[in-house]
């Protein structure tokens, strides 16, 4: 890389630096499903997916997983062990399945935040909770830059959200930062399925899911992205190491439905 020597940079030097910055960002690529794209395009691509599916998100979840996502979430809620008065942050909360349960458990003395980067998903989640009589603070925010102080929450959860994030390592560091010492992070995500199930699972993912997506949500591409993004997501052991690298301790995981999903938990000590 060339360096400008002058203390006050000349216009030519400024242009050179701008070009270098452009080149720098052009070389930072990431995955969007199986596609390789520029890092700064991923947020928009992911946003398109969730704006498109938000209104049919819940019905599609039930259909695609034959209701299994409810069992995985119930397990996550049990492992969270939220008690009255707890402060809880649900990241990438979407339509709010976890936040709803946490708000009921934390009660009036507690504080449960419903957050997501996507306005369509967040609106759907907020309305759903309001319809259940649950009024929770709701915030549009990026998990990679959480607008909360250090050491604030007793629990932080992210269900099926980490996979969509560009800098997963940065998001994990942020999740740890906002946890109180002794607080627990719960990451529920699709994971690596057990070998005997791989073939039928692939067949299901790449033919049935896009077909269902087209029929129900009018959008096959978003569900093709879902199948691809699951394959590109770190497996159980890799995610465990990533959480440890982010500074979490006592990291463990539970395979759910033969690894179709996995719940990873870690403590901030």
Ligand X SMILES: C[S@@+](CC[C@H](N)C(=O)[O-])C[C@H]1O[C@@H](n2cnc3c(N)ncnc32)[C@H](O)[C@@H]1O
The residue ranges that bind ligand X (CB under 6 A) are 46, 50, 91-95, 97, 116-118, 121, 142-144, 159-161, 164-165
CB of 160 to ligand X, least distance (A): 4
Distances (CA, A) of 263 to 66, 168, 218, 223, 226: 19, 16, 30, 22, 18
Alpha-carbon dihedral angle through residues 118, 42, 73, 65, given to the nearest 10 degrees: 110
Instruction: Return the number of the residue (94 or 266) whose C-beta is nearest ligand X.
Output: 94
Q: Which two tokens stand for residue 67?
A: 């209701």
Could you identify the residue written with the tokens 């008065």? 85
Q: Which residue is nearest to ligand X (CB)?
A: 94
Please compute Rg for the chain using Cα positions. Answer: 20
CB of 31 to ligand X, least distance (A): 13
Alpha-carbon dihedral angle through residues 198, 32, 256, 206, given to the nearest 10 degrees: -40
100, 132 Cβ separation under 8 angstroms: yes
Instruction: Return the number of the residue (94 or 110) whose C-beta is nearest ligand X.
Output: 94
Instruction: Return the number of the residue (100 or 268) whose C-beta is nearest ligand X.
Output: 100
Cα dihedral sign for 139, 61, 186, 174? negative
Q: Which two tokens stand for residue 95?
A: 């339509």
Q: How far is Cα 99 from Cα 134, in angstroms, rounded to an integer?
A: 10
CB of 185 to ligand X, least distance (A): 14
Distance between first and last Cα of the chain: 41
Instruction: Return the number of the residue (13 or 152) whose C-beta is nearest ligand X.
Output: 152
CB of 4 to ligand X, least distance (A): 34
Closest CA to 69 of 79, 54, 59, 84: 59
Instruction: Return the number of the residue (226 or 248) whose C-beta is nearest ligand X.
Output: 226
CB of 62 to ligand X, least distance (A): 11
Instruction: Return the number of the residue (140 or 269) whose C-beta is nearest ligand X.
Output: 140
Instruction: Return the number of the residue (232 or 269) whose C-beta is nearest ligand X.
Output: 232
CB of 2 to ligand X, least distance (A): 34
Q: How far is Cα 214 from Cα 61, in angstroms, rounded to an integer?
A: 14
CB of 93 to ligand X, least distance (A): 5
Instruction: Return the number of the residue (111 or 189) whose C-beta is nearest ligand X.
Output: 189
Phi, psi of 185 (to 5 degrees): -105, 135
CB of 13 to ligand X, least distance (A): 35
Q: How far is Cα 266 from Cα 155, in angstroms, rounded to an integer?
A: 10
């Amino acid at each position: 890389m060339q360096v400008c020597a002058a203390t006050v940079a000349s216009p030519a030097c400024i242009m050179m630096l701008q070009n270098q910055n452009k080149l720098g960002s052009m070389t930072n690529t990431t995955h969007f499903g199986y596609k390789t794209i520029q890092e700064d395009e991923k947020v928009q691509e992911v946003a398109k997916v969730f704006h498109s599916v938000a209104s049919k998100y819940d019905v599609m979840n039930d259909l695609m997983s034959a209701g299994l996502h409810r069992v995985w979430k119930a397990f996550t809620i049990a492992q969270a062990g939220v008690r009255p008065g707890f402060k809880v942050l649900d990241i990438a909360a979407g339509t709010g399945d976890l936040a709803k349960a946490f708000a009921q458990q934390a009660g009036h003395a507690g504080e449960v935040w419903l957050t997501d980067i996507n306005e369509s998903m967040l609106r759907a989640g907020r309305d759903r909770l309001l319809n259940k009589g649950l009024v929770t603070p709701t915030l549009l925010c990026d998990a990679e830059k959480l607008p909360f102080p250090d050491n604030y929450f007793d629990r932080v959860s992210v269900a099926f959200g980490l996979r969509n994030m560009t800098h997963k390592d940065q998001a994990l560091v942020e999740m740890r930062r906002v946890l109180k010492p002794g607080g627990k992070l719960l990451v529920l995500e699709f994971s690596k399925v057990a070998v005997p199930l791989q073939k039928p699972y692939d067949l299901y993912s790449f033919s049935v899911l896009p077909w269902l997506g087209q029929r129900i949500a009018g959008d096959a591409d978003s569900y093709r992205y879902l199948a691809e993004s699951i394959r590109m997501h770190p497996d159980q052991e890799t995610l465990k190491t990533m959480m440890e690298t982010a500074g979490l301790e006592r990291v463990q995981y539970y395979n759910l439905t033969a690894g179709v999903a996995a719940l990873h938990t870690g403590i901030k000590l």
